[in-house]
Amino acid sequence: MTLQNFITLFAEQFDDTEMDLFTPQTNFKQLDEWSSLVALSVISMVDEEFDKQLTGAELRNANTIEELYRIIESK
Amino acid sequence: MSFLSIKNVKIRGIAACVPSRIEENKDYKELSAEEIEKYIQTTGVQRRHCAIHDGSICTSDLCQKAAEKLISDLKWDKSEIGLLVFVSHTTDYRLPATACVLQDKMGITKNCLAFDVTLGCSGYLLGMGIAGSLLQNGTIKKALVMVGNTQSEYASYHDRSMYLLLGDAGTVTALEYNEQDYDEMDFNYLTDGSGRASVIVPDGGSRNPVNEKSFIQEDYGDGIKRNRLQEKMDGTEVFSFAIHHVPQNFKELMDQIHLNKEDVDYLLIHQANKFLCEKLRKKIGFPPEKCPYNIQEFGNTSGATIPLLMVTNLKKELESKPLTICMTTIGVGFSLGSGCIKTNKIVCPDLMYL
């Protein structure tokens, strides 16, 4: 999966955040809408799209969307 | 893979008992009405039946009440019960085993194998697998599997992730050795202890004995405060583990026993929280009408959720016709199990209160 595709899927887990706020460098935990519930949706999306288990610790360790993408790709 | 396939064992009955005392989540003081509404929407938990944890109602009391009624409805003689398994994380004492206490208090024959199994949410499937395996030997004829928890005891009022979620319940399932007329039971288990810190009461065991620091309330941010004798749950880690492993473990079981989803009457999903349950239901691929819920009334009662759900939602069908019921559970450990049992007109008294 390309980074761009991942960003689109990542953005789909949010309801009210503008699409153009999602870039590789977006510090996603700073977004107003970020919450523990959105975190669970991201984990669920990664499971579905990559068939990989993204742990809570891995999610905590990533700051930008690109960092998160690299973590998943390296698994 | 860790499969158990049990034959020559018949499921005779199931009963459950909850504390009559109710806690309404809408009455919680540390969140706004709007926040509570959102919490209820996400987790599904509106109210919970909780004991007052002063020793007046323990898990064993709930299980005992359910068991006395079931034994009487089944017209079982207590001298015939050769196996008593008590599955819980809330035992009467650190020692002796609560199963021994129950044997005496209930007047079950001394010629009985009785022991505790310390497991939480996965407890029902583990207890059924263990008891079924022992009964298959054919020398013990009747068994009680008691599964319950009063773990609201471990929840800090200042930890909404736990406090608004946990309810108490005790259940009992009666099993009988029967070569002619048995109900197939199949289970698949998975254990990953690397997740042990994700759901834990850190102090009070032998690893971290109780000390003065155990009682100090620590601030974990986000309004969450608890001490080290209370339960911590990292909900994100539990979710991550569950969403990845539960559907896989369940599929392995279905493949192993060559069962199609269409031939399953119900899939009972451990009532952890509605958000997780719905994700699991969709990923496993069952329609809503085959996956009942009672989490709104009882919360997460740990190992008791599956048998409690059978009593509250499936009583009429359990009593009147043959059923093929699948189950999935995941929780503290991490310990995970999938199961498929067949039942045929079992005894199922109304839910009891204590």
Q: CATH code at B117? A: 3.40.47.10
Residue type, B149: N
CA distance B19 to chain A (A): 31
B316 burial (CB, 10 Å; 0-12 / 13-18 / 19+) is: exposed
Give residues with Cβ within 8 angstroms of B44, minimum separation 6. Answer: B273, B274, B275, B277, B293, B295, B296
Using a CB-CB cut-off of 8 Å, the residues of chain B touching A59 are 236
Sequential pLDDT tens for chain A (75 residues):
999 999 999 999 999 999 999 999 999 999 999 999 999 999 999 999 999 999 999 999 999 999 999 999 998
Tokens of B323: 């059923």
8 Å CB contact between B303 and B70: no
Please state, in angstroms and rounded to a whole number, the distance separating the CA atoms of residues B126 and B333. 13
User: What DSSP designation does A53 have?
Assistant: -
CA dihedral B248, B251, B256, B257 (to 10 degrees): 150
Q: How many CB atoms lie within 10 A of CB A25?
A: 9
* A53 belongs to a structural domain: yes
Asked if omega into B96 is within 30° of 0 (cis), the reply is: yes
> Domains in chain B: how many in total?
1
Q: Is B41 on the interface with A (CB under 8 A)?
A: no
User: What DSSP designation does B44 have?
Assistant: -
Please state, in angstroms and rounded to a whole number, the distance separating the CA atoms of residues B47 and B283. 27
- Using the beta-carbon criterion (under 8 Å), do B237 and A39 form an inter-chain contact? no
Considering only CA atoms, which of B223, B239, B202, B201 is closest in space to residue B331? B239
Give the model's pLDDT for residue B154. 96
* A55 belongs to a structural domain: yes
CA distance A52 to chain B (A): 7
Please state, in angstroms and rounded to a whole number, the distance separating the CA atoms of residues A21 and A7. 10
Show the domain range for A64.
Answer: 35-75
Q: Is B23 on the interface with A (CB under 8 A)?
A: no
- Using the beta-carbon criterion (under 8 Å), do A48 and B240 form an inter-chain contact? no
Provide the pLDDT confidence category of residue B281 given band limits of 50, 70 and 90. very high
Asked if omega into B334 is within 30° of 0 (cis), the reply is: yes
Judge whether residue B12 has pLDDT over 90: yes
Give the model's pLDDT for residue B223. 82
Q: Is A54 on the interface with B (CB under 8 A)?
A: yes
Please state, in angstroms and rounded to a whole number, the distance separating the CA atoms of residues B7 and B135. 9
Rounded average pLDDT over B213-238:
94
Using a CB-CB cut-off of 8 Å, the residues of chain B touching A40 are 235-236, 239, 275-276
Using a CB-CB cut-off of 8 Å, the residues of chain A touching B234 are 56
8 Å CB contact between B304 and B16: yes
Judge whether residue B178 has pLDDT over 90: yes
Residue B73: strand, helix, or coil? helix
Judge whether residue B91 has pLDDT over 90: yes
Q: Is B282 on the interface with A (CB under 8 A)?
A: no
Please provide residue B4's backbone torsions phi and psi, each rounded to the nearest 5 degrees. Answer: -125, 135
Q: How far apart are the first and last CA of chain A?
A: 13
**Alpha carbons within 13 A on the beta-carbon side of B127:** 35
Q: How many CB atoms lie within 10 A of CB A19?
A: 10
Show the domain range for B144.
Answer: 1-353
Nearest to B243 among A36, A37, A47 (CB): A47
Report pLDDT digits (tens) over B16-47: 999 999 999 999 999 999 999 999 999 999 99
ipTM score of the complex?
Answer: 0.93
> Domains in chain A: how many in total?
1
Using a CB-CB cut-off of 8 Å, the residues of chain B touching A57 are 237
Give the model's pLDDT for residue B25. 97
* A6 belongs to a structural domain: no
Mean pLDDT rounded to a whole number for chain B: 97
Considering only CA atoms, which of B305, B289, B287 is closest in space to residue B297? B305
* A56 belongs to a structural domain: yes
Provide the pLDDT confidence category of residue B238 given band limits of 50, 70 and 90. very high
* A9 belongs to a structural domain: no
Please state, in angstroms and rounded to a whole number, the distance separating the CA atoms of residues A39 and A18. 18
Give the model's pLDDT for residue A15. 92
Considering only CA atoms, which of B320, B331, B267, B263 is closest in space to residue B293? B267
Judge whether residue B221 has pLDDT over 90: no
Q: Supply angle C-alpha B113, B119, B125, rounded to 5.
A: 75
Judge whether residue B9 has pLDDT over 90: yes
